Amino acid sequence: MPALVQICVVIMTIALLAIALMAVRVMARLNQTTEELSGLTQAVRESAVEFDLVSHEARALLASLRDCVPPVLRVVGRLDAISQRAANLSSTLLEELEVPVFTAAAMARGVRSGANHFLKRLMQRFIHPQPAINGGPDHE
């Protein structure tokens, strides 16, 4: 065989060997990628199961809240009615008692002021007595 053909056969063998080596590396990386993808798929499945459990719990919570809302609304309605009645009662009470209380307070202030003035005049009379001169010296 001529030397040129032998060199070509060697080059072709090296090329085929390089192609086979690259194919093995590609297959190894493809295998690694598929394993990572398989792990990711497993994690997504587990997350989906957990998400499903969370959604069921959320539905159960919403169902229990739906059961609790009508009694709470009734209590709120009753408290609103009671507070309205208490406000009306206090308003009526203030309207009815305001005038008599102010009148009594004004009367008490008047009595206190009158008593104070009377006591001052009485004390003045006892502390600084004036002689009993009826009409003065020219009066007969």
C-alpha angle 17-23-29 in degrees, rounded to nearest 5: 140
Please give the structure tokens belonging to residue 11.
């080059």
Which is more confident, 97 or 14? Answer: 14
pTM score, whole prediction: 0.39
C-alpha angle 54-59-62 in degrees, rounded to nearest 5: 125
CA distance readout (Å), 137 to 20, 132, 133, 140: 157, 11, 8, 8
pLDDT digits (tens, 9 = 90+) for 82-93: 999 999 999 998
Please give the structure tokens belonging to residue 86.
């208490």
For residue 93, which of 81, 101, 83, 103 has the smallest C-alpha distance? 101
Pairwise CA distance, residues 127 & 117, whole Å = 15
* 58 Cβ contact list (under 8 Å, min separation 6): none
> What amino acid is encoded at 65 in this protein?
L
pLDDT digits (tens, 9 = 90+) for 18-74: 999 999 999 999 999 999 999 999 999 999 999 999 999 999 999 988 888 898 999
